[in-house]
Each structure stands twice: as structure tokens, then as C-alpha cells.
Structure 1
Amino acid sequence: MSPSRPNAAAPVDPPLPVPDVSGADASVRGLPRRVDLTWQQKLVVDSSAAADLGLRTAIASLVGAAMLPRLAVSALRSGDTRSERDALSFYAELAAAKDPQLSFPAPTELPRVSSRPANPIAEWTAHGPVQNIRFQSSFQAVNPALRTKRGGYARNNVVHAQHWRHDDGPRPTLCLIHGFMGSAYLFNGLFFSLPWFYRSGYDVLLYTLPFHGRRAERHSPYSGYGYFADGMSGFAEAMAQAVHDFRSVIDYLEYTGVDRIALTGMSLGGYTSALIAGVDDRVQAVIPNVPVVTPDSAFDDWFPANLLVTLGNRVTGADPGLTTAASAYHSPLNYAPLIPKDRRLIITGLGDRLAPPEQAEMLWRHWDRCAFHWFPGNHVLHVSQPDYLRRMTRFLRPFMFS
């Protein structure tokens, strides 16, 4: 039985009712100016932006809390301060080379994957067979000085994903990478209308980022805590592991016979998917959704995390320029995309204040002004989401079902 082709005109019901105020593709100049918006779009953008400020403060507070213990240790131990500066210099040197294969070495062994049926809720959501898969990560810290510590994160070093597969597969596979703290499979499946994509003929894989969900270390106060708990060097290694482990997922999919893979991700997942597009050319299409691309500059507005970053730089004696140079190591802006221009689509919200649309616009320029869709909502209220889901469908069809 051949997979059905997604119908771009078919109705897509979002998981939550949202105002029916449409977005559009960006023009050759980029995102629209305020004067270009209708009064309904202005109203939605302004109100959703105001709502996003509260969410941004809440998330920034959690990120700041994760950074505090590391900051306190650095203040008390001069050796830790020197180690952090040395680590930043290490990542800055890698970034300067702009070589993705040097920065993100490919896995050298096929993962030994184990699977078991997911819970009945997952199968009810997908309306088909669902497997939870796991395998031991083969990642080693890029920075040799951190390999012992990073290797000690036992739960984090087991990779988890959920795989929705058709009985007559393998099918073209849509992979989704979740956002910071948002690792729940059920939430992501509903938020992105993945059952609709599954019914349209795709297999679906939901990938769990390091330190999230079942990968969170014991006693972590929330999913994703470990991403920032080890400071800027820890964040760099978490991003490196996110890329490495997803490439192992690609190895697994190819081993099972999948020959067409599309990748999308939201927020931190959008950042990760954009970075993967500059590292691995086996992805047929990539769709970063509300991505951040320069976290160091985005954090400037993230109160109170921005204050702790500034304090941390003072305690460690880090040059802000060195911090920026080190952050470029895991920025997609540092690497040329390996996926052809016509297979890149960026989605952003004009009212987003966690991942401001200017971040997506920077990626759009770096990606040679590829396809670029905006909606008049914020980071989590994706107003007119059915529009961009249908946009995704039209975009993916030639590469996934040709």
C-alpha cells in the first residue's frame, strides 16, 4: 500500500481554539513592518507580545536558578573560574574554524536500539502503532576536559524517542524536536497536529533532547534543568550531544529503511534543527519554528537570567567578546546550511518575546532568504496555526512524496 499524499487544502484542527487571524509568507524585504499589518493583526501581535513577557520572565527565572549553583562554586573556587575561561576559549577556537565536522563529529557506531509499545494514550492519539525507543548514547564531550563529568550523567546518556510507524512502512518520516522544558510526547503530538501528519502518510518521530523527560538526571527540579546547570560550557556540550544523538537517530531510521527524513522543531528544538541543517545533509527538509539563533544576544532581554549571565562573566573574569565567540560554536549562523535552499522553511511569530522574530530573520538572511512564514502570535499561542501547518504540507510534499 503506498502512502497517501498530504492534502494542502484539508482542514487541520489545532489542539486549542485560536483567533482566526491569518499570517503570511515574508516578502523579499523580510518580515512585515507594523504599517503593513491589518488592525486585527496588530491587535493580536500586541496582546500576544504582552502575554509573552510574563512567560519569558518565568522561564528566565528557572534558567537563572539552574545557573546559580555553578555561579556560587565559581565565586568560591578560582580553579573553576580558570576552567570555565579555558572552556570558553576552546569553543571559541572551534567556532572560528567554521567546520561542522570538526565541531560535531559524526557517530561512529550504529545505535543498539530497544523498543517497547507506548501507552494506550499514545496509540489513541496517533490512531496507529507507537513504539518508545531508547539506546545508549555514544556521545563523548567535545571538550576533553569535560568528558569524565559529562560521561557521569547516566540518565542523560540514554537517548529516548517515540516512533509512530505505519504497519506497511517504512514511510517518509517527520521528526520533531521539542522546546525547552516541553518534552512531553502527548503535548507535542497534539500541539503540532502530528496525528494529522500521520494520517496523511508520514511516520512520525518525537526526539527527546538531552536532560529532558526521561533523560533528566534524578532530583532535577524540572525537565531541561541540566541544560544550563553547568554554565556556558555545559550548554555548549548539551547542544553538541543533541546534534550527535539525533544523528544516531538518523542512522537508526536509515537502518530500518527510511530514505526520506524531514525535521522540524520549536524554540530550543528550532535552534537545534537549524544547527543540524548545517551539520548533516541526510535531512531532506528542515523547518525551524520560532527559533533562537544567537542565545547570547537573546539572553540580554531575559530578566533575571541576563543579570546572572553578567554576574557570571564578572566572577569568572570572562571577556564578553569571548563569551560571544564561544556561543558561536553552536549557533546555526556559524555554519553554511547543507540542505538546499528550496528545502528550508522558517516559521516565526511576530508577537514572540522569548524567541523574537528578529532571531528568525537573522537565520533567514543567513539561509539566503529561503521560504519564511510568519503568524501574528507569540511563543506558545500560534495564531492561525492551521495556515502554517498547511504551508508546511505544501512545502514538504515535493521532497517527501515525490
Structure 2
Amino acid sequence: MSIPLPLALAMDRAVGFISGIANNLPAEHPDTRDELEAYLDKPFDVAFPAPPVPNHAHLSRFEARRGYTVEEFRFDSAFEPMSAHYKERHEHDYIENRHVVGRIYRHDDGHPRVMVIYIHGLMQPGPVMEERVLIPRILKKLDVDVCHLHLPFHGRRKPANELIHGGFFWTSDLVRSFEAIRQSVSDVRSVIYYLRERFNQPIGLVGMSLGGVITMTTVCVEKDVDFAIPVIAHQSLSDAVTRAPILTRMREELNQRGLSEADLIDIESRLGLSRMKPVIPTERMLWINARHDLIIRADAVERQWRDWGEPPIRWYEGSHMSIVFEIPQVMGWIGEYLDDLALVPRHGMRRRRAA
């Protein structure tokens, strides 16, 4: 169900206004530009090293629900910061991020299914809404199993001194921001390896907004992914910083520190983010984006899409936040794509194909 475009655009502006108020509550984020040298011009296997297979995980079975079971897992994050100073911060100020946390939802009928690792967006206020509303819908409509991963600084990994979920993830503290991306990718890869050890089923990534950015970055360094579906996402973080309404404070603080858009583009290139290319085939990706997104701009999406070899892409006529009204269409596109991939034998009723 689409909504009028003026209302869709107003939703993006409204979330920018609200996030601006929330982001203005903490004190100024540290200026870590002088520490960036440790991160610049590094090979991808240094910036994003493969983690080991987790050797121990704590499991707690929550409940058996109608048609599926839910269990929570936790294991030590293999992430290692690149700078000694941030390593100290990571180990003392952000101890909640030293563990990878998530939940696994599996159907109990024994039929073969793919496993979707769902990666949420920026500033998601904990897992309650997604785990009570979105994930049951994914389980039913897409007929898949789901692993819901909590990104650093979000959900059960939110530090006590972080006022809002994800408030420390992407800020003018450039070292912490890049390390948050590095840890997210490392943790996603660890979860892939963990699930491979436990279950014999295809595994893919579905990421929303920030989760889509992490999905894209992961498939540039990790081949062991059967499919990847980034939703309302691109990798041009410099474009988002200079244009997205939800990043106004970050933009203003960086400007006050003398960093221009050209400086951010150069930093992004030297960090490697804008030079990354997928290591999985383009046909194993489906992009879903909004034509009138004020946060993830369509022109930046199209530039990366062409640079990546034009993988399959779907567009809806709305904004970033109006995706809440586009979920049936988005689910239809994803279901159609998974049917066409044919990673597992179909059983029962075939998913209804998108119009």
C-alpha cells in the first residue's frame, strides 16, 4: 500500500527532526581524526579480516511457538580494533559489544528452508518491535528460517552510557564509526560460520538501511553467502553524511572541525569503502530501494548499482521511512527472488509472486 509522495517525504523529514533532537542530547562526540592514519590505505583482508569459527556459544531456548521455535545465542565477538586507543575504549567503555547476540527462529516441521540473517537499521530501539511484528511475518510470508542479529551499540549491545540505541554507531567520532562497521561485518561473518556449523541449509543476508550497508560490505569480503538482499541502502557513506536528514549533527560537527564533503569522500576512499566490489555473483543479489528516499538517495544508489555490474534491482515509489507501507510489495519481491534462486526444494503452497 503506497501513500501520497508528499506524506512519504514528510516521514523522512520528520525522522530527521526527531533523530536530531535525540542526537543533540549527548555531549560532543570525540574528534578522532588524528587516529585515522592507522586505518587508511589498508588491504581489505587487513581492514576486514575473516574471524575464526566461534568455538563456544551460550544457548537459551526461549519457547516453542506455533509452528516454530525460538532460541537466543551469545558468543564472544572475535572483533579486534585496529588502533590501541580504540581497543582500550572497546574493552572498557563498550563492554556490551564484546559479545555477539541474536535469536534464531526455525520452523519445526522438518521441511528444508533457507536461513535468512536479518540485519536491522540504525537506531532501532531494541528488538521488541521487529521480533513481535516483522520477523513472524517474514517466517510466514517468505517461508524461511530467520536469525536476527543485534548490531553493535543496538539492542542488547547498547552501552549504559549511550542514550539512544545506535547513538554511538555513526557519528563525528570517525574512528568509532569505522570500527563499528568493521565489528558489524566481523560479527555477521562469525554468525554465518556459526550457523554453517549448526545447520545444513543455505544462508543469506537481508539488511534494512544500515543493515543493508553492512550486508553490502560483508559480501565484498565474504564468499560464503548464498544470497544478499540489501534494502534501502548504498555504500556511499559520504553521500549519506552530507545529505541525510538523520545525520545533521554528524554533518555539523564535521563541518565545525573543518572537514568538507571532498575530505569525506577522500577518507571514505582511503578507508576502502568506496572501492569495494562484491565477491559473490551479481545474480546472487537483489537490491530494493526507494525512488524518493531523502536518506539513501536514488542517484547514489544508481551509481553504485552500475559500478557493481547492475545486479537485480526493484524500486518502490516512496521514501526511506514509507517502506513501512511497502512491506507487502517488498515481501513479494523477496519471495519471488528466492523462488527463482531455487536453493531448496519447494513444499506446500508456492509463495505468491509480486505484481
> Partner of 1:86 in structure 2?
34
Tell me by how many angstroms 1:199 deviates. Answer: 6.7
- For residue 28 of structure 2, the aligned residue among 47, 69, 81 is 69
Question: Structure 1 residues 328, 187: CA separation in 2 closer, same or farther (over 3 Å shift)?
Answer: farther
SS of aligned partner of 2:10 = helix
Q: Which moved more, 1:254-263 or 1:244-253?
A: 254-263
Match of residue 342, structure 1, among 280, 283, 286: 283
- Using the TM superposition, give the Cα deviation of residue 229 of structure 1 relative to its aligned residue in structure 2, in angstroms: 5.9
TM-superposed CA distance for 1:348, in Å, is 1.0
Q: 2:115 aligns with which of 149, 168, 173?
A: 173
Q: What does 1:45-64 align with in structure 2 at a 5 Å threshold?
A: 45-64=5-24
CA contact (8 A) 1:347 1:374 kept: yes
Partner of 1:256: 198
TM-score, normalising length from structure 1? 0.76
- Give the aligned partner of residue 74 of structure 2: 134
CA deviation vs aligned residue, 1:318-338 (integer Å, no higher than 9, x gap): 575443333346675421101
Q: Which runs of 5+ in 2 are unaligned?
A: 346-355
Matched position secondary structure for 1:242: helix
Aligned to 1:363: 304
Structure showing greater Rg = 1
Residues of 2 paired with 1:251 and 1:223: CA distance? Answer: 27
After TM superposition, the score normalised by the length of structure 2 is: 0.85
Q: How far has the Cα of 1:137 moved from its partner?
A: 0.9
Structure-1 residue corresponding to 2:221 = 279
Aligned-residue CA RMSD (Å): 2.7
Using the alignment, how far apart are the partners of 1:333 and 1:318 within structure 2?
18
Distance (Å, rounded) in 1 between the aligned partners of 2:281 and 2:139: 23
> 2:230 — aligned with what?
288
* Structure 1, unaligned runs of 5 or more: 1-18, 22-42, 75-83
Residue 12 (structure 1) aligns with: none
- What SS does structure 2 have at the residue aligned with 1:226? coil
Deviation at 1:61, TM superposition (A): 4.1
Residue 381 of structure 1 is matched in structure 2 by 322
Structure with bigger RCO (C-alpha 8 Å, 6+ apart): 1
Instruction: Assess if the C-alpha contact under 8 Å between 2:54 and 2:75 holds in 1.
Output: no
Per the alignment, do residues 388 and 109 of structure 1 end up closer, same or farther by CA in structure 2, a change over 3 Å counting? Answer: closer
Paired residues, number: 341
How far did residue 364 of structure 1 move? Answer: 1.5
Q: What residue number does 1:24 align with?
A: none
Do the aligned partners of residues 52 and 85 (structure 1) sit closer, same or farther apart at CA in structure 2, a change above 3 Å counting? closer
Task: Report the residue type matching 1:271 in the other structure.
Answer: V
Q: Secondary structure at the match of 2:222?
A: coil
Match of 1:104 among 48, 61, 84: 48
Q: Note the alpha carbon deviations across 1:49-91, whole angstroms, 9 max, x for none.
A: 123111122224434545x4225xx5xxxxxxxxx23323333
Match of 1:114 in 2: 58
